[in-house]
Amino acid sequence: MNSKLFSPRFIFVASAILLAALSRVFPHFNNFTPIAAMALFGGVYFSDKRLAFIVPLVAMILSDVILELTTGWGFHNTIAYVYVAFIITAAIGLYVRKNTNVQTVLGASVLSSVLFFIITNFGVWAASGGIGGASGLATTYVLGVPFFAPTLLGDVFYNAILFGAFYLAQRRIPALIK
């Protein structure tokens, strides 16, 4: 077994992402979820770039399976767009890891929220068959605006929790530091 894979750092980061993913199955405000935070956090803190994508994606799929089984809302006709936004956010995390601080995480949070909005609303329009052409796409974005604020607030909130908890944990547990 690769001891680096099961290091305290890996276990902490993976557990934090899994807990965040599981929080999706509990009642919450619409769009106030840890989706982008899980991807960004994984992108920043997994040493292995492959794991930065795989672990958050597996956690996301697991929570989608649970949501599908319990509510019927886990998988939908625009889920591929959600996953694309999720993967792009993990890639943003790879960039942020070079200079992780409050400002870069906050900026990445906002960028991730904007990208999620653009990509998933495009997905809604595309799933409708592209009704109305460019005008229909514009209408889809306008109708999506009320959902942006909770998405942004959720991203910032969950990033503060994940990154803040890891920062505090590193101060108490030196084994979490690279």
- Please write the tens of the pLDDT for every residue from 107-120: 999 999 999 999 99
Q: Is residue 146 part of a domain?
A: yes
| Angle (CA) 147 65 124, round 5° | 35
Q: Is residue 103 part of a domain?
A: yes
Q: Is residue 171 part of a domain?
A: no
Q: Is residue 178 part of a domain?
A: no
Give CA–CA dist 28/51, Å, rounded: 28
With a cut of 50, say whether residue 68 has pLDDT above it: yes
> Domain residues for 50?
8-164
SS3 for 101-158 is CHHHHHHHHHHHHHHHHHHHHHHHHHHCCCCCHHHHHHHHHHHHHHHHHHHHHHHHHH
Cβ 20 vs Cβ 38: under 8 Å: yes
Q: Is residue 12 part of a domain?
A: yes
Q: Is residue 134 part of a domain?
A: yes
152 to each of 60, 115, 145, how far by Cα in Å?
Answer: 18, 11, 11
Cβ 170 vs Cβ 176: under 8 Å: yes
With a cut of 70, say whether residue 161 has pLDDT above it: yes
The conformation of residue 97, written as its DSSP 8-state character, comes to G
What total number of domains does the chain contain?
A: 1
Q: Is residue 2 part of a domain?
A: no
pLDDT of residue 2: 54
Mean pLDDT of 150-177: 96
Calculate the average pLDDT of the chain: 94
pLDDT of residue 28: 86
When pLDDT is cut at 50, 70 and 90, the band that residue 1 belongs to is very low
When pLDDT is cut at 50, 70 and 90, the band that residue 3 belongs to is low
